[in-house]
Structure 1
């Protein structure tokens, strides 16, 4: 079959250019109207004729050879059309009514289109939000564009489109990857359980020959089928001069479950999710296809067309919604977890990057190294299991003073992140405290919902680094946060807004703390860095600092006793921070940097300046 698949990828489009051929795929050869057990390259034609040349088409050979392998061909008379054009009078059953919560299997469409089917509620990987999945020709249409309103039910079922807007078109695709689109879910609650199937889309799989499947569509409701052709490429006319080749597979009626109408699909079923039938004979939670077309009236049987689910999900950058999630829960977990905002100070500044070695060490989630939380982002070292860099924003005008009652330090369990965090196993029976890199108090701003979420997010171990307990002794309490206090007290930033980057300096010679009985060996950082960005009288500015046991002016390395009175703040060039951390700061940052003057009190030859009081931070 693999050779056949490569043959279709290589030659399929050439065959579709012939006037009478409308589809090509792999299926079982038909003889005398009955299926044989022999696989063949199967061609669909609009009509069979004795003399193909009369249709200006070359005859299809009985066998073809490719890569040294010979296999048979088969010709079947079938023609296809898209399934969104409706012909029957609307029936006001539940599938065609306005619903809240909205569920898959019901009428939906572009505001100016007729109606199709909402196939599934899925998660947009770009935004982390729940979105609605259907076809390009249902949600986008030839006349539409990104951002257009989407209505539920579709206009054919209820022409009060202004009242029925449920979201807007987010992304779409029409081509070999499929006929597919997603729309935002803005104005309704949702239940991802597909109507009359009792299952939501929790997994996806690739369709194979003889797979048994079921769909729930706007027009024909629940129908069952069997996959009869795979690796298909079908050419369809979408109107307005749009003719596209769509990849996917073919489904025929399951003879053991014939619907009353004997129709596997009709107009309005486009966008339905084809779900795999489980071993128990019931619908599973596995989606294998997205319905996009049905057979024409003069075809030799009942057939439907579907895009491969895995191809659609990859192209649209979507994934299944977590089981039993509600729109409120999804939004609480994703809408607020937008991370660090690079345009927070009015001008969008590029993020720092990393040296190749540091970049390879970063943990990732969904192939992205930036781990986003409410008001802050983390870049996590896999080897050290500590944050390499944390970035956050502070809106001093909307700070809320929240307690920490009921909040525990926890590991972030998304993906495989748990493997790259040090938890409570480090902090028992020793002088180390869990030190927030982004201070909890700095993150609690904005709406009540935002502040509460940021307060909770601040306790993830991805935002923690071990700090000696004497950081919190009364006479020197808040040493790590002195800089944030000083920027508001001394620098007086415009609009009381500040952005910060910080983290431990993960040096190769950091001392080890071990618990042999528990197999614990952690290198404890002895230096920390912080960069503050702010707007001063309309101009962006930044300064870099290091909190260290080392005397950066006299260049004397003190004994690494981890005692608090050895730690002091120094202002340093951000280039020095980059050299120590493997972080590359953008060139534009250098233009914003305010370095101490060489003659400044306490300035050393390398531009480091000892901070002896809060007033010195921004002197």
Structure 2
């Protein structure tokens, strides 16, 4: 069996199939030990560095010296003639607590790599957009502990998370929970997208759809698709069974042994509070760097060892994608599925048409495609504003109704006014004349859900669009079409007039600068 102990480091190596029996025997032998955290087939590590030897590896919570062990606790050097190595490591689900989540921009389309979760229960990651083979409907794939958890019920709402707070926000509701699994085969769940939720068969940050799922090869490099700050590459270091602790019901933590892959980050990943900084990556998909195939779904990360890492880099535990898709009866979503759902014969909802309209970067004169290519919402540099003649506002036929803002419903039942300021203050004049008498009433005319909006409030707290350029287009159309701005000499305004404004008061200040001066 000498040929099983060598592997080329510059190419992929298939896992030895004839070692599966040895792997299972080792699991039955050592799996009942209190410090057991996994057993797999993978590379041997020496003095923190990976070697070319392939061996059977036992993962333990803590390695002890021989003189601290009872004779029955001493491990053999070989199992069925295969060399046995010991790795000090422990693993836990990498769900991010909601209070620790960084604020981020809400994305108009659902796709792999974006944050998701249950309201108030922490954040994970959308692994892939998939198709439910039992219904033909699109959905999102992530972990059981991200989408379901111990309180899961059929059709529970699933959020595409953006802002730091964890309160339920209807704008974030994108899917309903349908099926889940937490067993030896994996930790995964399916949530079916709402009928009018726009989606793309892509991974966030890329323009290529994933067309194939396959098994991992030992030593191959995978890319993680996630919005977390530590997006990275990792190498497949082993495959076997790994023990993670889950909250399975209220007040109860249980260990579950799950088949999967052990990945090692190629670069240094920081450790904070004893944990690898990959919180929120639960559910992230790992994609082959060479072929672009989907390989695995992350379920956990490595906890910091009290005695220092026995390997360079930190470990990740991920389930192989194929068994998960088979058990949950799913397949990868494609552009063909998108076209079939949103083709000319399909009946699009108002929300779908609105999101498509808002996803195109343009001034009002340019048409918006129905389902644009991702380049239209990619983060590109803004073009310089054009010096266009300004007609009277009444000369434009564009209506504010052509842009629909998704607004947060607040409980306040009054229109707020600015605190009293000196009458001579230019800001107080703008606050009274532009905000209180013009812009705020125009917003309420457009949608009563703007009730309670404050002039210093950030625009994105109320209005959700593809990017900030569409927010400016919203205000230009609102102002040009509202009678509230009649009689102040204001001419036709452009979206570019509001570029860079972040609050309602700044919008008012821009309007004031566009008024003719005596």
What are the equivalent positions in structure 2 for 1:71-82 lying under 5 Å apart? 71-82=82-93
Q: CA shift at 1:286, angstroms?
A: 0.8
What are the equivalent positions in structure 2 for 1:439-454 lying under 5 Å apart? none
TM-score, normalisation: structure 1:
0.48
Match of 1:103, SS? strand
Q: CA shift at 1:170, angstroms?
A: 0.9
Contact 2:110 2:197 in 1 (8 A): yes
Contact 2:276 2:304 in 1 (8 A): no
Match of 2:203, SS? coil
CA distance change for structure 1 residues 64 and 322 in 2, over 3 Å: closer, same or farther? same
Deviant stretches of 4+, over 6 Å: 259-264, 331-336
2:104 match: 93
Question: CA–CA distance in 2 between the matches of 1:52 and 1:92?
Answer: 51
Question: CA–CA distance in 2 between the matches of 1:80 and 1:172?
Answer: 21
Contact 2:58 2:86 in 1 (8 A): yes
TM-score, normalisation: structure 2:
0.57
Contact 1:114 1:155 in 2 (8 A): no
1:312 aligns with one of 297, 321, 324 = 324
CA distance change for structure 1 residues 87 and 47 in 2, over 3 Å: closer, same or farther? farther
Match of 1:143, SS? coil
RMSD: 2.9
CA distance change for structure 1 residues 331 and 238 in 2, over 3 Å: closer, same or farther? farther
CA distance change for structure 1 residues 153 and 209 in 2, over 3 Å: closer, same or farther? same
2:289 match: 277
2:64 aligns with one of 40, 49, 62 = 49
Contact 1:23 1:233 in 2 (8 A): yes
CA distance change for structure 1 residues 51 and 324 in 2, over 3 Å: closer, same or farther? same
Q: Deviations over 1:301-352 (max 9, x none)?
A: 41111100111111111111123642x633779999xxxxxxxxxxxxxxxx
1:37 matched to 2:52? The reply is yes
2:110 aligns with one of 90, 102, 105 = 102
Match of 2:112, SS? coil
2:205 aligns with one of 186, 196, 216 = 196
Larger fraction in strand: 1
Question: CA–CA distance in 1 between the matches of 2:70 and 2:209?
Answer: 47
For structure 2, the 5+ residue unaligned runs are: 1-15, 348-518
CA distance change for structure 1 residues 334 and 107 in 2, over 3 Å: closer, same or farther? farther
CA distance change for structure 1 residues 139 and 304 in 2, over 3 Å: closer, same or farther? same
1:118 matched to 2:122? The reply is no
1:165 match: 173
- How many residue pairs get aligned? The number is 320
What are the equivalent positions in structure 2 for 1:513-524 lying under 5 Å apart? none
Question: CA–CA distance in 2 between the matches of 1:57 and 1:241?
Answer: 29
For structure 1, the 5+ residue unaligned runs are: 279-283, 337-619
Q: CA shift at 1:34, angstroms?
A: 2.5
CA distance change for structure 1 residues 265 and 124 in 2, over 3 Å: closer, same or farther? farther
2:160 aligns with one of 145, 152, 174 = 152
2:264 match: 252
Higher mean alpha-carbon deviation, 50-59 vs 134-143, is at 50-59
Larger fraction in helix: 2
